[in-house]
Amino acid sequence: MSQWLEVKLGDYVNLLTGFPFKSKNYSDFEEDIKLLRSDNIAQGYLRWENVKRWKLTDDPRESNYFLKTNDVILAMDRPWIEAGLKYSIISNKDLPCLLVQRVACLRAKEILNQQFLRYVIGSKSFTEYVCSIETGTAVPHISGQQIKDYEFLLPPLPEQKAIASVLSSLDDKIDLLHRQNKTLEAMAQTLFRQWFIEEAKEDWSEFHIRDLEIYIADYVANGSFASLKENVTLITEKSDYALFIRNTDLKSNFANKVYVDEHSYNFLAKTKLYGGEVIISNVADVGSVHLCPRFNVPMTLGNNIIMLRSKFNYFLYLYFTSSIGQDALYAITSGSAQQKFNKTDFRALKISLPNLAILDEFNELVSSYFIKKQYNLNQIQTLENLRDTLLPKLMSGEVRVQYQTVA
């Protein structure tokens, strides 16, 4: 550790903050350049749904804000949310894109490895630092100077590269499994479209959701708000008991898990999860649809989402992620400040179905895709646990990596 130095981040990075592109001139045309805004940044990855774009003008300043491969980016407004720190790294598939104001871009100077910088920003220590310095109640925020003031331990450059190599090899495997799962999902969705949209028959029967053998429940099905507050205790530290499954967990791949104790789990008896249930967000992020993963721990449903359980879970999942399912959810959604729909309206939705034999055949056909996807999710969890265990130990020098020095 004698060669490790305690340094300030600002001495080792060039920090760029974004340009104030005028929102009134945003574009939705595919041929225009993507704008990287705070809304696009998740916990270690980027979300390009509903991306805004920009048609380049003759303003010479705009060209200074093109991002590059391996740039580390960090949200400066609401940098930390319930799901975790909003940061990521730019990959080739994200380019070209432009940096918008209130987003920071960090580029390592010669004596700091860019991949090592990625793990400095992704460390628990940096997250704790951000949470301790952010100011503002309506919109918590941090400044460029505060980012520069962060202090950390810096090993010699060869050791930085060795540490980054160990961690990035795990991240590369995780990324490959995620890409495999996207392919499996796309294959299942293609089959759904062929069977139930392109080849739909006029003589199929129409049913209300409430008339089908589907168990539907949500968090408040377990009792009044007062009784829930009295009987349910949420625990943010790692627990040996039950996972409290929220929409944000399913979207962030459980970046920041929340648990409940045994009493809470038993009180939430109507919404115990066993894996494979269809989970739909019905408040705020309306229409976000997931299949509940299977973990080797008890699980229970969180708030602002509903669960569906039937013998045709795969069909229901693909239906509500399809364009017709999303349109159906949109039709029952109301509210301007906060969009939402209720269980009564959901149960009243109509759906056209073939006979049970066809549903059985389809469910059997796509099950192999979802079984493989679950296997990959288990592998991802194992690799992420290993990475998250190694990260603080490698970054603090508690665990050292062998590396070669240049003579």
Residue 281: the pLDDT is 97
**pLDDT for 155 beyond 60:** yes
201-219 average pLDDT score:
95
**pLDDT for 407 beyond 70:** no
Separation between Cα atoms, residue 68 and residue 405, nearest integer Å:
29
Query: How would residue 240 be classed by pLDDT, with cut points 50, 70 and 90?
Result: low
Q: Which amino acid is at 1?
A: M
Could you tell me the CA-to-CA distances from 366 to 164, 317, 318, 372 in Å, in that order?
Answer: 38, 11, 10, 10
Q: Please state which of the four CATH numbers 3.90.220.20, 1.20.1090.10, 3.40.50.9100, 3.60.20.30 is assigned to the domain occupying 205-353.
A: 3.90.220.20
Chain centroid, CA 237 distance in Å: 20
* pTM value surpassing 0.85: yes
Give me the residues paired with residue 216 across strands. Answer: 308
Separation between Cα atoms, residue 78 and residue 71, nearest integer Å:
20
> Which residues are within 8 A (CB) of 151 and not within 5 positions of it... i.e. 6 or more apart?
6, 7, 8, 9
Residue 358: the pLDDT is 95
Residue 361: the pLDDT is 96
**Across 48-57, 118-127, 229-238, which has the greatest mean pLDDT?**
118-127
Residue 374: the pLDDT is 96
**pLDDT for 236 beyond 90:** no
**pLDDT for 254 beyond 90:** no
Cβ neighbours around 281 below 10 Å, total: 23
Q: Do 5-154 and 205-353 come out as alike in CATH topology?
A: yes
6-25 pLDDT tens trace: 999 999 999 999 999 999 99
The CATH code of domain 5-154 reads 3.90.220.20
Show me where the domains of the chain are located.
5-154, 205-353
**pLDDT for 338 beyond 60:** yes
Q: How far apart are the first and last CA of the chain?
A: 20
Residue 151: the pLDDT is 98
372-395 average pLDDT score:
94
164-172 average pLDDT score:
96
To the nearest whole percent, how much of the chain has pLDDT over 70?
A: 98
Residue 396: the pLDDT is 93
Query: How would residue 83 be classed by pLDDT, with cut points 50, 70 and 90?
Result: confident
217-246 average pLDDT score:
91
Please tell me the least confidently modeled range out of 21-30, 254-263, 306-315, 378-387: 254-263
DSSP labels, 5-66: EEEEGGGTEEEEE-B---GGG-B--TTSEEEE-GGGB-BSSB--TT--EE---S-GGGGGGB
Residue 237: the pLDDT is 74
Average model confidence (pLDDT) for the chain?
Answer: 94
Separation between Cα atoms, residue 9 and residue 287, nearest integer Å:
40
Query: How would residue 335 be classed by pLDDT, with cut points 50, 70 and 90?
Result: confident
Residue 123: the pLDDT is 95
